[in-house]
Amino acid sequence: MKTRITELLGIRYPLVLPGMSWISTPELVAAVSNAGGLGILASGPLTADDTRQAIRRIRELTDKPFGIGVTLLMPGAKENAEVALQEQVPVINFSLGKGDWLVKRAHEYGGKVIATVVSEKHALSAEKIGADALLVTGHEAAAHGGEVTSLVLVPAISARVSIPVIATGGFADGRGLMAALSLGAEAVAMGSRLATSLESPLHQTTKQAVLSRTEQDTIYSRNFDGLWARVMKTPRSVKETRRPMNIIRACWEASRAARIVGQPVWKILLGMLAMLDKVLLLAYFGASVPRLKAATIDGDLDKGVQFIGQTQGLIDDIASVEDIIQRTVQEAEVVCRRQQDRFSV
């Protein structure tokens, strides 16, 4: 199955595991890459040393292309990006920040850079600085999708840029893959679907909760971590998104969260001082960490909140990564043949 993305990244199938904190671990990344897709490591919860170890662990598990995700707004992200560049990671995926320096240095060793965007403006900016591809995130996505649905956003951006697009938000099977290709994308990222795979470290209780819910059972709110985000609908998440957290409590929670992700408190505070216009956002981000970790790692949905996409309504089993990817490709082929038959005279 060849597209511009498979050719660009040297992968077999146009399927991507996005970087999801505490989920896109070396083991899951390698499983996706070994199955023919592109696995992207989540560096958000990692220190620089953790990131280096994770990259080397991935290389022990696979000789296939893989990537690393860095959210540039977050404290510690630049250090993680530096490690990725030093280790010459094949693909770097950046978001929420200026990535021109990443593009320049990655290209020096032949690496590729994917920019995550939610709007045409950001897509054009990413193309201008030399990004090799875009991860276009629609409204349906888990966590930080945009305001526009993939059905509109993907073709709108694809028509205005010359670099290939990876669509994410609303894609979990072969039907979605074929739809994305029809809209102008060259691949899809399937975060929620791969998060519920056998190899995923997402807690079994949370995986089962995904299976029991429908596409209606999500909440899209900016009151959880400061950005518009989609989470699983539970009594706890309803409470957490009802109103914004008090700024004093948010800052306190953020300082506590720094210890959870291995970042010194002074670095979090320094990051806030360096970006006074984003203090509230950084505080909310930090305050969300214990709740995300409780749901993802501990499976505690009474205390925790889980990022999930509307595709949870399309997920009805917990299968291996290999099985998910093969089923997706086979279903896409069936859909393609069916549509050809419909249009044949």
Question: Letter for the amino acid at 54?
Answer: A
- Joined together, the tokens standing for residue 243 give 């109103």
The answer, yes or no, to whether residue 261 has pLDDT greater than 50, is no
Summarize the confidence of residues 154-160 as an average pLDDT: 98
- C-alpha closest to that of 191 among 60, 69, 53: 69
Homologous superfamily in CATH for domain 4-201+317-343? Aldolase class I (3.20.20.70)
191-243 pLDDT, tens digit each:
999 999 999 999 999 999 999 999 999 999 988 888 899 999 999 999 989 87
Quickly state the pLDDT bin for 260 (edges 50, 70, 90).
very low
Residue 75's pLDDT band (cuts 50, 70, 90): confident
Q: What's residue 113's pLDDT?
A: 98
Residue 271 confidence (pLDDT)? 53
Report which of 33, 41, 31 is spatially closest to residue 9, judged by C-alpha positions. 33
- CA 93 to CA 72: how far, in whole Å? 10
The domain ranges of the chain are 4-201+317-343, 204-296
pLDDT of residue 248: 54
The reported pTM is 0.90
**Helices and strands: H and E segment counts in the chain:** 15, 10
Nearest to 217 by CA among 204, 200, 206, 230: 230
